[in-house]
Amino acid sequence: MTITVDIRPEVEAELARQAAAQGRAMEAIAADLLEEAVHLSAANPGQEQFDNLSDLLLNSPFAGAGLNLERSEDQPRPVDLR
């Protein structure tokens, strides 16, 4: 799909700087930014990426289900293995 987007000159300049720094075309950088904005990964289209289980659960259909994701402060008890 091809789209035309009017952007401010300073945004274009920053996009050009990032593209040059990465050795990539401005269009490729812009496409990656759009994919990130709609939560798609170029490597896994249609799959949202999360850094950890807590982020996954908090940003999923389970969000607001009253899940307590806080780490327990309980310390393990010693066990006698004799």
Q: What is the pTM of this model?
A: 0.45
| Residue 6 identity (one-letter amino acid) | D
Task: Convert the pLDDT of each residue in 15-30 to its tens digit.
Answer: 898 899 999 999 888 8
Q: What are the helix and strand counts (H, E) for the chain?
A: 3, 0
Structure-token pair, residue 23: 């050795």
Q: CA nearest 45: which of 36, 54, 53? A: 36
Model confidence at 45: pLDDT above 60: no
Residue spans of the domains in the chain: they are 9-58
Q: What is the pLDDT of residue 23?
A: 93
